[in-house]
């Protein structure tokens, strides 16, 4: 049976078809896992927090959040990772390896999951649909993030300031504000950043690359997220609604800023003088008073 499964890699045969959406798989076990997305069944439950998962492997990964176990260590930097795949990705960053290439556009990626996500941009497939509003997403993780808008759930809380987030990755990035950690360093000028997306954005100032182009007006952007925000100008879609006053906004970040005008919350605090700001961009501008930085010359 293992030989038959392996041979399907060469023949491209996918005999196990989902009757709900038509997607096909090489192995029946993969079809069964996929069908859980349609049924909503989550049989694997975490005994620590009650959260349930479609697959046991995802449960095992989740449980490391509670145990803190990081068994996969990078020999170059000594940093530990919960998953081996995260370690492999980290090592690829060190050596610059991108072995997984997109046959449509030639772009290369560090792992197969990143390539798979990228390919969805070419096919336009959005299999993950929100049952509340009908909006569809390329990745399930994006759907989960979106659903937090409807549920308001923010399970990941910062123990330093009490701020809560929909995703653990957002919390990890936020905590660097408290620790001062800036792990993402620009090899051109030595400047360091809290999150990788800020580093990528910064590197464009050196390279001038703007790979994300608007098909409506031809304007190009460094990041895809900037392009998506820009495209809302053409579609005028305002999907982020504030329930207290009914105001709708194009971007979620604008919604959060607007909410602060109602709550008065100033969650972005200057570590030098303690002054608080509604927006992070206002904090960044303020910090230049202390650093003396003048980026716009």
Provide the sign of the torsion angle of the four alpha carbons 121, 170, 237, 131, taken in this order: positive
The whole-number pLDDT of residue 243 equals: 67
CA 212 to chain centre: 18
SS3 86: helix
Q: Which of 3-7, 230-234, 284-288 has the lowest mean pLDDT?
A: 3-7
10 pLDDT higher than 80: no
Here the tokens at position 85 are 């795949």
Backbone angles phi and psi of 49, in degrees to 5: -125, -5
The whole-number pLDDT of residue 78 equals: 61
124 pLDDT higher than 60: yes
* pLDDT, tens digit, 9 for 90 and up, residues 215-265: 888 888 877 778 877 877 776 666 667 667 777 776 667 777 777 777 777
> Across the chain, what does the average pLDDT equal?
77
- More reliable by pLDDT, 12 or 182: 182
* pLDDT, tens digit, 9 for 90 and up, residues 159-172: 888 888 877 888 88
* pLDDT, tens digit, 9 for 90 and up, residues 38-88: 777 788 888 888 888 877 877 877 777 776 666 667 666 666 666 666 666
Taking residues 198-220, report their average pLDDT: 83
The whole-number pLDDT of residue 144 equals: 79
The whole-number pLDDT of residue 200 equals: 78
Query: Residue 62's closest CA among 37, 77, 82, 76?
Result: 82
**Distant-in-sequence, close-in-space partners of 86: CB < 8 Å, separation ≥ 6:** 72
Mark residue 57 as left, alpha or beta (left: phi above 0; alpha: psi -120 to 50; beta: remaining): alpha
The whole-number pLDDT of residue 95 equals: 57
């Amino acid at each position: 049976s293992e030989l038959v499964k392996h041979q399907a890699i060469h023949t491209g045969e996918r005999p196990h078809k989902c009757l709900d959406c038509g997607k096909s798989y090489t192995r029946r076990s993969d079809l069964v896992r996929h069908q859980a997305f349609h049924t909503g069944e989550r049989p694997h439950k975490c005994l620590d927090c009650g959260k349930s998962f479609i697959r046991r492997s995802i449960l095992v990964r989740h449980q490391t959040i509670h145990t803190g176990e990081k068994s996969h260590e990078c020999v170059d930097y000594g940093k530990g990772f919960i998953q081996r795949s995260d370690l492999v990705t980290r090592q690829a960053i060190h050596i610059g390896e991108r072995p997984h290439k997109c046959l449509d556009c030639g772009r290369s990626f560090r792992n197969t999951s990143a390539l798979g996500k990228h390919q969805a941009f070419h096919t336009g497939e959005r299999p993950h649909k929100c049952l509340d509003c009908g909006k569809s997403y390329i990745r399930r993780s994006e759907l989960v993030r979106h659903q937090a808008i409807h549920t308001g759930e923010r399970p990941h809380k910062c123990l330093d300031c009490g701020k809560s987030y929909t995703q653990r990755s957002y919390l990890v990035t936020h905590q660097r504000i408290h620790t001062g950690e800036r792990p993402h360093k620009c090899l051109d000028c030595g400047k360091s950043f809290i999150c990788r997306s800020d580093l990528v954005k910064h590197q464009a100032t050196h390279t001038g690359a703007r790979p994300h182009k608007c098909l409506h007006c031809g304007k190009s952007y460094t990041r895809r997220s900037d392009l998506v925000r820009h495209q809302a100008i053409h579609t005028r879609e305002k999907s982020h609604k504030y329930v207290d006053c009914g105001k709708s906004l194009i971007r979620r970040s604008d919604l959060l800023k607007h909410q602060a005008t109602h709550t008065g919350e100033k969650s972005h605090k200057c570590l030098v003088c303690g002054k608080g700001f509604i927006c992070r961009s206002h904090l960044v501008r303020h910090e230049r008073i202390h650093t003396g930085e003048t980026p716009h010359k």
